[in-house]
């Protein structure tokens, strides 16, 4: 009985709750048969602009943390990265540039003066003497730097090389790098407003190159002698060829970081390219090598150290999106493996780590006999032609060759005046070989605009010159075979290396030379008859070769004679290369 009463009471309670719930519930719609419910409004979707702004703020926040970390790691060499949102692409420009010192670049800039001088130059280029005469009244007020910019407005010039760290090691602008500030407390600052200067050049679409004199740095060397080239007897070595000044030590990592920090800051300021000058050891090595020592050398060759510095600089400068160039002695277009100068400049290993190589092929720097000339200084066209042919040949041996951008002489020497005719002759010599970039060195920064206007011959000519079956060294396939075989006969592996297609040999020259020695093929004699082109359109060099193969104990195993051998010739980067084949079997 109690159980029944309990069940009855529970039924009543539950039924009442259900009725109460039902009485407060909405009535289903007869039309839709759905229950109405409250809908919570959703957040509106972000626009693309809002998403981008949010992402930008996130990147800025991450960058702040990264900069704190970098500041701790880099210490006195700290330079901030390019601000988020202000990144840029590397410029790809066919550069034709004039040189300006820091004092020239520090001159005041008035766009009215620049435009007036630019208009005057254009009138000269158009041979409109009357118009030029009228414009001169307003153009003559331009200062030296305004004239340089005006020349860029009115001629093919489109770039300016500006000292960032000069030949004394002085910084030309007010630096924020702690290490630089410490060494330049008494340094005169010729460029007072470098940001404005660079902006003006940008307004005129001028390519800007920051020149950094790397290791000839008297300022640094005097203040920090521990980072200089040392005498074995104690003290700092002084360079007798440069006015008895000390040099900083190119093996020293601290020295590297100093130069790279300056390069970073110049890049951050807006320079399109960093150009390392004096990126070498002092000349006269035969005299100073026995009496000096280089802390941090660790048995490395000098050219290895220079190449490693450029490799390091390129890696460190990568976030700044600038091009990198290196000035080299004109002699490096010919010499091999840093011989005989021993200054640390070897074309094929330096060239791997820069965007352009700038050989200083000033005719005044060459002595009697170079390029078959009695007085190279009076033959600027032939000197530059010979040097550029060699540079093209060097570049042809590289997988990824740098741009060749020579320094052109625009200064008088030994009684020989270098007017527009001689300056233009050098430009044309390079242009005929497909080398269209150049930089002009005039220490006074006074340039004749006629030097940068096309000659009549250029207007009607076609460049580069078509040399027919000859390459850019004016050699035939037979000449290529002759150079290869003469190198083999004289154990000049550099000739063999240059005349072998890149894909047919080792990239590293030292490794290539070791392998040639290991083959033990001794050339006894050879004769090159000439070259032909067969029906399959293959270029062939015809040769007789006489050689012997020696086994490891020095015994001659056999002498092989091959008459009228036809070797394939390959035109690689406008230089003839030879696919030489030798039967190295010992049967």
SS3 per-residue string spanning 364-421 = HHCCCCHHHCCCHHHCHHHHHHHHHHHHHHHHHCCCCCCEECCEEECCCECCECCCHH
Does some domain include residue 128?
no
* Of the candidates 134, 138, 137, 110, the residue with the CA atom closest to the CA atom of residue 123: 134
Quick one: pLDDT at residue 54?
87
What's the whole-number mean pLDDT along residues 299-317? Answer: 98
Return phi, psi of residue 268, to 5°: -60, -35
The pLDDT assigned to 27 comes to 45
Contacts of 137 by beta carbon, 8 Å cutoff, 6+ apart: none
Please answer whether residues 295 and 251 qualify as being in contact, where contact means their C-beta atoms are separated by less than 8 angstroms.
Answer: yes
Mean pLDDT of all residues in 186-210: 97
pLDDT at 20: 45
Answer yes or no: do 299 and 263 share one domain. yes
Do residues 101 and 163 touch, judged by C-beta distance below 8 A? yes
Residue 303 has pLDDT above 70, yes or no: yes
pLDDT of residue 441: 98
In a domain? residue 432? yes
pLDDT tens string 80-100: 999 999 999 999 999 999 999
Summarize the confidence of residues 364-382 as an average pLDDT: 98
At a CB cut-off of 8 Å and minimum separation 6, what does 337 contact? 303, 346, 494, 509
| φ, ψ of residue 579 in degrees (nearest 5) | -90, 80
Element (H, E) at 497: helix 493-498
**Cis ω before 478 (30° cut-off from 0):** no
Residue 219: pLDDT above 80?
yes
% helix, strand, coil for the chain, step of 5? 45, 20, 40
Residues 411 and 515 in one domain: no
Read off the pTM. Answer: 0.90
Q: Which two tokens stand for residue 48?
A: 């693309």
In a shared domain, residues 449 and 485: no
Does a structural domain hold residue 57? no
Q: How far apart are alpha carbons 338 and 9 in whole angstroms?
A: 110
Quote the pLDDT of residue 38. 61
Residues 494 and 453 in one domain: no
Residue 12's pLDDT is 46
Phi and psi at residue 403, in whole multiples of 5°?
-70, 140
Within a domain: 236? yes
Contact 485, 529 (CB under 8 A): no
Same domain assignment for residues 432 and 496? no
Percent of the chain with pLDDT over 90: 79
- Do residue 530 and residue 391 come from a single domain? no
- Distant-in-sequence, close-in-space partners of 300: CB < 8 Å, separation ≥ 6: 251, 308
**pLDDT for 232:** 97
- Asked if pLDDT for residue 552 goes beyond 70, the answer is no
User: How high is the pLDDT of residue 550?
Assistant: 76
Nearest one of 115, 138, 137, 119 to 128, comparing CA atoms = 119
Is residue 27 assigned to a domain? no
For residue 117, the 8-state DSSP code is H
- Comparing CA positions, the residue from 269, 91, 274, 90 lying closest to residue 197 is 269
pLDDT of residue 173: 98
- The pLDDT-based confidence of 17 (bands split at 50, 70, 90) is very low
Residue 30 has pLDDT above 70, yes or no: no
- Say whether both 201 and 313 belong to one domain: yes
Check residue 8 and give its pLDDT: 43
Residues 388 and 250 in one domain: yes
In Å, how far are 55, 178, 387, 390 from 424, measured between CA atoms?
Answer: 52, 44, 16, 20
Contacts of 186 (CB under 8 A, 6+ apart): none
Of 398, 433, 460, which residue constitutes the final position of a domain? Answer: 460
Domain limits at 518?
477-579
pLDDT, mean over the chain: 91
Burial state string for 114-151 with b = 16 or more CB within 10 A and e = fewer than 16: bbbbbbbbbbbbeeeeeebeebeeebeebebbbbbbbb
Q: Look at residue 526 and give its three-state secondary structure.
A: strand
For residue 544, is pLDDT > 70?
yes
Task: Say what the pLDDT of residue 46 is.
Answer: 84
- For residues 369 and 354, what is the distance between their CA atoms, to the nearest angstrom? 31
**pLDDT at residue number 181:** 97
Q: What is the 3-state secondary structure (H, E, C) of 271-317?
A: CCEEEEECCCCCCCHHHHHHHEECCCCCCCCHHHHHHHHHHHHHHHH
Judge if the upstream peptide bond of residue 464 is cis by omega within 30 degrees of 0. yes
**Rounded (5°) CA angle 86-89-91:** 125
Give the span between the Cα atoms of 503 and 579, in whole angstroms. Answer: 10
Same domain, 531 and 437: no
What CATH number is given to the structural domain containing 406? 3.20.20.80
Question: Domain ends where: 402, 426, 460?
Answer: 460
pLDDT at 51 over 60: yes
Segment 295-311 mean pLDDT = 97
Instruction: Please state, in angstroms and rounded to a whole number, the distance separating the CA atoms of residues 206 and 100.
Output: 13
Q: What is the mean pLDDT of residues 292-308?
A: 97
Q: Give a yes or no: residue 213 inside a domain.
A: yes
- Overall number of domains in the chain: 2
551: domain CATH number is: 3.10.450.50
Q: What is the distance between the alpha carbons of residues 329 and 346, in angstroms, rounded to a whole number? A: 10
Torsion angle of the four alpha carbons 545, 546, 550, 556, in this order, in degrees rounded to the nearest 10? 170
114-168, pLDDT tens digit by residue? Answer: 999 999 999 999 999 999 999 999 999 999 999 999 999 999 999 999 999 999 9
Query: In terms of pLDDT, which residue wins out, 513 or 53?
Result: 513
215 in a structural domain: yes
Q: Are residues 329 and 447 in the same domain?
A: yes
For residue 258, the tally of other CB atoms under 10 A from its CB is: 25
Tell me how many helices (H) and strands (E) the chain has. 19, 15
Q: What is the pLDDT of residue 6?
A: 43
What is the distance, to the nearest Å, from the Cα of residue 292 to the centroid of all Cα atoms in its chain? 31
Q: Give dist(CA 171, CA 176) in Å, integer.
A: 11
Q: Are residues 366 and 490 in the same domain?
A: no
> What pLDDT shows up at residue 536?
57
Using the predicted structure, report yes or no on whether residue 36 has a pLDDT greater than 70: no
The residue out of 460, 492, 517 marking a domain boundary is 460
Same domain, residue pair 340 and 213:
yes
The per-residue pLDDT for 384 is 98
Residue 70 domain flag? no
Task: Supply the pLDDT for residue 229.
Answer: 98
């Amino acid at each position: 009985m109690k159980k029944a009463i309990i069940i009855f009471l529970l039924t009543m309670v539950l039924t009442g709750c259900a009725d109460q719930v039902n009485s407060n519930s909405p009535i289903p719609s007869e039309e839709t048969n759905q229950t109405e419910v409250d809908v919570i409004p959703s957040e509106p979707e972000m626009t693309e602009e809002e998403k981008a702004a949010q992402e930008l703020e996130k990147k800025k926040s991450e960058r702040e943390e990264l900069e704190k970390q970098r500041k701790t790691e880099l210490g006195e060499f700290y330079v901030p990265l390019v601000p988020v949102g202000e990144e840029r692409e590397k410029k790809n420009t066919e550069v034709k540039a004039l040189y300006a010192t820091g004092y020239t670049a520090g001159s005041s800039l008035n766009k009215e003066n620049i435009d007036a001088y630019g208009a005057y130059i254009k009138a000269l280029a158009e041979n409109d003497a009357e118009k030029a005469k009228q414009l001169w009244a307003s153009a003559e007020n331009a200062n030296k730097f305004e004239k340089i910019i005006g020349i860029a407005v009115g001629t093919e010039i489109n770039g300016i090389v500006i000292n960032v760290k000069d030949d004394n090691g002085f910084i030309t602008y007010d630096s924020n790098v702690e290490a630089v500030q410490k060494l330049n407390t008494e340094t005169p600052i010729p460029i007072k407003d470098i940001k404005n200067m660079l902006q003006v050049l940008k307004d005129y679409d001028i390519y800007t190159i920051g020149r950094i004199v790397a290791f000839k740095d008297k300022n640094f060397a005097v203040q920090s002698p521990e980072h200089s080239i040392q005498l074995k007897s104690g003290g700092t070595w002084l360079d007798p060829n440069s006015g008895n000044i000390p040099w900083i030590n190119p093996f020293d990592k601290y020295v590297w970081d100093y130069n790279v920090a300056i390069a970073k800051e110049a890049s951050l300021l807006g320079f399109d390219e960093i150009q390392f000058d004096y990126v070498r050891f002092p000349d006269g090595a035969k005299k100073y090598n026995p009496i000096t020592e280089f802390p941090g050398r660790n048995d490395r060759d000098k050219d290895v150290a220079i190449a490693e510095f450029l490799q390091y600089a390129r890696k460190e400068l990568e976030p700044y999106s600038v091009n990198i160039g290196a000035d080299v002695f004109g002699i490096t277009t010919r010499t091999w493996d840093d011989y005989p100068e021993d200054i640390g400049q070897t074309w094929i290993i330096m060239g791997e780590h820069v965007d352009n190589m700038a050989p200083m092929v000033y005719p005044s720097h060459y002595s009697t006999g170079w390029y078959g000339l009695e007085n190279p200084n009076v033959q600027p066209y032939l000197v530059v032609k010979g040097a550029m042919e060699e540079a093209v040949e060097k570049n042809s041996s590289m997988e990824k060759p740098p741009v060749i951008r020579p320094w052109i002489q625009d200064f008088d020497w030994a009684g020989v005046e270098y007017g527009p005719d001689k300056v233009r002759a050098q430009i044309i010599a390079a242009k005929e070989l497909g080398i269209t970039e150049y930089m002009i060195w005039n220490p006074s920064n006074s340039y004749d605009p006629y030097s940068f206007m096309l000659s009549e011959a250029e207007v009607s000519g076609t460049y580069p010159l078509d040399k027919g079956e000859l390459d850019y060294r004016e050699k035939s396939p037979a000449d290529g075979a002759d150079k290869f075989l003469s190198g083999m006969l004289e154990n000049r592996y550099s000739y063999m290396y240059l005349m072998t297609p890149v894909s047919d040999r080792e990239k590293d020259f030292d490794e290539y030379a070791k392998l040639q020695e290991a083959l033990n093929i001794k050339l006894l004699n050879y004769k090159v008859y000439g070259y032909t082109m067969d029906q399959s359109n293959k270029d062939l060099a015809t040769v007789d070769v006489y050689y012997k193969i020696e086994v490891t104990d020095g015994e001659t195993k056999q002498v092989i004679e091959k008459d009228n051998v036809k070797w394939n010739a390959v035109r690689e980067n406008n230089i003839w290369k030879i696919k030489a084949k030798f039967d190295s079997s010992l049967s």
